[in-house]
Amino acid sequence: MLMEQILTPDDAKNMLDDLSGAMWVAGEARTKALTGTVKKNLEILPGTDTVANDLLKVVTQKIMGNAAVSVHCIPFILHPPKFNKYMEGGEYQEHTDAPWMSNTRTDISCTIWLSEPDAYEGGVLKIGEQAFKGTPGQGIFYDCDVVHSVTPVTSGERVCVVSWIQSRIRDPRKRQLITDFRAWLAKMEGTEMFAEGDLIYSALLKRWID
């Protein structure tokens, strides 16, 4: 799991302001019909808002250009991100994400907070046993198949960007090993140990990427 500043706090807040005129519609739950999982939030439909479109292009660049995301997620395809909003009473009960969305195999789920944490009560992102409430511009990246939820918002408004990543390395255990290897190798930069290790690291990476 990775928690990382994707947008500056100011950029995040400005984004929030820029969305003031956008049209929000009810989000749709994949599994509700089958499992009764409640998803109650609002989304801006893709392509319906020019401002949102432009902002999402920026978000895409910020995610794909982030060094920590590159190391931990090894992104191959980024599903077009979208804004969502949980107002009072909004929630998304425990679920895992669909194995794929359009052409993206959803290996890693991403949430970037835009709202200040004290702008709403509740609305905590729970991932397995852990709970998260980020500050503006912070993003969290976690495996899509871990059960997660957004607890009910009891007051205020929680706006985030969400997206999904198809990683070059689908197996989380392989990806973790590659990330650990790279972090270790980075400590050797500038030493004579680096070059030999880089060949081994690259050979392993090459074996495991899609």
Q: Kindly state the smallest distance separating residue 135's Cβ from a second copy, in Å.
A: 24
Q: Which is nearer to a second copy, 10 or 196 (CB)?
A: 196
Rounded to an integer, what distance in angstroms lies between the CA atom of residue 87 and that of residue 152? 9
Contacts of 1 (CB under 8 A, 6+ apart): 127, 140, 141, 142, 143
Q: Does 34 bind a second copy (CB under 8 A)?
A: yes
Secondary structure class of 87 (helix, strand, coil): coil
Candidates 92, 58, 96; CA nearest to 78 is 58
Rounded to an integer, what distance in angstroms lies between the CA atom of residue 202 and that of residue 210? 14
Q: How many of the chain's residues bind a second copy (CB under 8 A)?
A: 40
- Segment 146-185, which members bind a second copy (CB under 8 A)? 147, 168, 172-174, 177, 180-181, 184
Q: Which is nearer to a second copy, 35 or 53 (CB)?
A: 35
Among 31, 60, 119, 157, binds a second copy (CB under 8 A): 31
- Segment 91-150, which members bind a second copy (CB under 8 A)? 96, 98-100, 105, 144-145, 147
Q: Does 38 bind a second copy (CB under 8 A)?
A: no
Rounded to an integer, what distance in angstroms lies between the CA atom of residue 117 and that of residue 101? 29
Rounded to an integer, what distance in angstroms lies between the CA atom of residue 60 and that of residue 120? 26
Q: Which residues bind a second copy (CB under 8 A)?
A: 31, 34-37, 96, 98-100, 105, 144-145, 147, 168, 172-174, 177, 180-181, 184, 187-189, 193-200, 202-207, 209-210
